[in-house]
């Protein structure tokens, strides 16, 4: 994927558009803000369709016991860290993953999918470290320090 500077977008817009049509996607670097991606509408629709098909296939697999078992067996190939989760936690992760994928497709909300993966990976990281697991799961003192007010 080609990369251009943001200033080139306004100075050479026809050339940038031609590059986007040829490569389907262009990375636009910015100095004073988050980088952008410029893509053709067709390419964007194809990416959405790919995500939709993948989400529907996973949801359909999970609808049967055999399919759910297949998903659970293949999950470590995609997310190796799931080996640190319990069976119940893994099932919960898969359900949240499917729900978040559907949100990405149906609602065009992608942050939820990213959050689900980041949060479950963090949980696995804690569970992989016995010292950290012990520290975070030990009982708290029975002292009541009163109501916590909202910030």
pLDDT digits (tens, 9 = 90+) for 66-83: 988 888 889 999 999 999
Ramachandran angles phi, psi of 92, nearest 5°: -65, -40
- For residues 41 and 24, what is the distance between their CA atoms, to the nearest angstrom? 9
Domain boundaries of the chain, sorted by first residue: 3-39, 47-136
Which tops the pLDDT comparison, 1 or 62? 1
Q: Which CATH architecture has domain 3-39?
A: 3-Layer(aba) Sandwich (3.40)
The pLDDT > 70 percentage for the chain reads 100
- For residues 132 and 24, what is the distance between their CA atoms, to the nearest angstrom? 45
Residue 5 pLDDT grade (very low, low, confident, very high; cuts 50, 70, 90): very high
94 touches 75 (CB < 8 A): yes
- For residues 76 and 78, what is the distance between their CA atoms, to the nearest angstrom? 5
Residue 47 pLDDT grade (very low, low, confident, very high; cuts 50, 70, 90): confident
60: which residues sit within 8 A by CB, 6+ positions away? 67
Is 0.85 surpassed by the pTM of this model?
no
Residue 30 pLDDT grade (very low, low, confident, very high; cuts 50, 70, 90): very high
Pairing mode, if any, of strands 25-29 and 36-39?
A: antiparallel
> pLDDT of 80-125, one tens digit each?
999 999 989 998 998 898 888 888 778 878 888 899 999 999 999 9
97 touches 43 (CB < 8 A): no
């Amino acid at each position: 994927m080609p990369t251009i500077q943001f200033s080139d977008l306004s100075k050479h817009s026809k050339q940038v558009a031609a590059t986007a049509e040829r490569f389907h996607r262009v990375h636009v670097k910015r100095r004073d803000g988050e980088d952008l991606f410029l893509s053709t509408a067709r390419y964007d629709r194809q990416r959405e369709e790919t995500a939709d098909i993948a989400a529907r296939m996973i949801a359909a697999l999970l609808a049967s016991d055999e399919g759910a078992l297949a998903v659970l067996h293949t999950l470590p190939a995609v997310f190796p860290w799931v080996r640190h989760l319990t069976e119940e936690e893994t099932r919960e992760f898969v359900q949240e993953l499917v729900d978040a994928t559907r949100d990405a497709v149906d609602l065009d909300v992608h942050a939820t999918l990213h959050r689900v993966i980041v949060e479950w990976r963090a949980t696995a990281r804690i569970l992989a470290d016995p010292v950290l697991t012990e520290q975070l799961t030990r009982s708290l003192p029975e002292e009541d320090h009163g109501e916590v007010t909202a910030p």
